[in-house]
Structures are given as C-alpha cells and as structure tokens.
Amino acid sequence: MEVTAPSTIHALNSSSARLACTFNSCYRVTEKQFSLNWTYQECHNCSETTLLQFRSKVLPVEQTRFGSRVKFTGNLGKYDVSITLEDVQLDDEGFYNCFVLNPPDRHRGHAQIQLRVITEEPPERDSTVAVVVGASVGGFLAVLILALVAVKCLRRRKQQKLNTDDQKTEEEGKTDGEGNPGDNEGPK
C-alpha cells in the first residue's frame, strides 16, 4: 500500500488547513475492515497524539489540544483520507501522520506532513520584470547569434572569392614549358 501526502503545508494563522492524504490499494475499501489513524507530533522525536481514528466510522477521540477543530474531509470511495484543521494556531506547527490499513492489504501505509503556520500572506510575486528581462536577454542572444552567422557567411564568401581569384591568376600565369606564356589554342 502506498500513502501519498505533501511533505510540507503552509497555513495562515486562524485559517483552515486541509491536510491532504490519499492512498492506493489493489482492493476496494470495505468500511468494516478499513482503519485510519491521524496523529500529531510536535517534533520528530516527540510522542504522538491521536487526532482522528476510523474503524467502520469516524470515532471520537478525546482531544484537549485540538478540541473539535479536526474534521474528516476525505472520501473513502476515492481513496482520500484527508482531514481539515480549522482555526489553525501557531502552536499547531508540527508533524501530522496519516496511517492507513485496507485489508486484505497486509502492510499499513504511512505519510507525514509538516505543517508550518505563517502569520501573514506572502506577497504576490510580480513576474512582469522576469518576463521582460528574459525576453530582453533572449532577444539579445538571438541577434548575437544571427550576427555571428552573418559574419561567418561573409568570411566564407570572401575566402571563396580569394580562392577563385587565385585559380584565375594561376591559370593566366601558365607557360608552355619553355617559359613562353601558354597558349591553349595549339600551333598557329
């Protein structure tokens, strides 16, 4: 069984955060056999606190830290076991573990999400400057390449003309073997 979740989620303080977790299985989900556990750890080596359990149905878990802020928002028929944490607080940062077992699968799947809580929305990035710079650099490189190709073609033509002129000069300077200029028309 493979369980998939994003490794990190950023949530705005006082907002709701959906902790997405999905799984794949060769077998259909049978609610009577299916089991799910969501746990929370403040740090990697800290002990785990159970947030939500599913055994034939979502079972209430006595929670002092999260109260009733954890809601099951997945869809078992679509292999989605996501939860939503409402009214996210700064001290909700930590690691959220999703454990899934869907018999007759033998192994329990696991995924972990690190939740990071931010206090303000990051500013939107204006990509206009990047597009203008990219287009300018690209245009400059295109003109430079065209100029280099044109120079190379001109040099090649000049070299060909020099070779042709040398051949003409060489043909004009031929002699008849006795030092006399060559006459290709034969004896007169």
Q: 35 in a domain, yes or no?
A: yes
Res 61: pLDDT: 81
CB atoms within 10 A of CB 100: 27
- The answer to whether residue 127 sits within a structural domain is no
Q: Quick check: is 57 in a domain?
A: yes
pLDDT tens digit sequence for 38-96: 999 999 899 999 999 999 888 878 777 888 899 999 999 999 999 999 999 999 999 99
- Does residue 67 form part of some domain? yes
Q: How many Cβ atoms from other residues are within 10 Å of residue 37's Cβ? A: 20
In tens, the pLDDT along 134-148 reads 778 777 777 878 788
d(CA 37, CA 10): 22
Judged by DSSP in three states, 123 sits in coil
CA distance 30 to 51: 22
The per-residue pLDDT of the chain, averaged, comes to 85
Work out how many domains the chain is built from and give that number. 1
The pTM score is 0.64
Evaluate whether residue 126 is within a structural domain.
no
**pLDDT > 80? residue 113:** yes
Predicted pLDDT at 102: 93
pLDDT value at position 112? 97
For residue 55, what is the domain's CATH number? 2.60.40.10
Give domain status of residue 140, yes or no: no
Containing structural domain, residue 48 = 2-118
- What digits encode the pLDDT tens for the residues 163-188? 777 776 666 666 555 556 655 555 55
Beta bridge partners of 18: 84
What is the H or E stretch that residue 114 is in?
Answer: strand 109-118
In a domain, 89, yes or no: yes
Q: What angle do CA 136, 140, 143 make, to 5 degrees?
A: 140
* Residue 60 located in a structural domain: yes
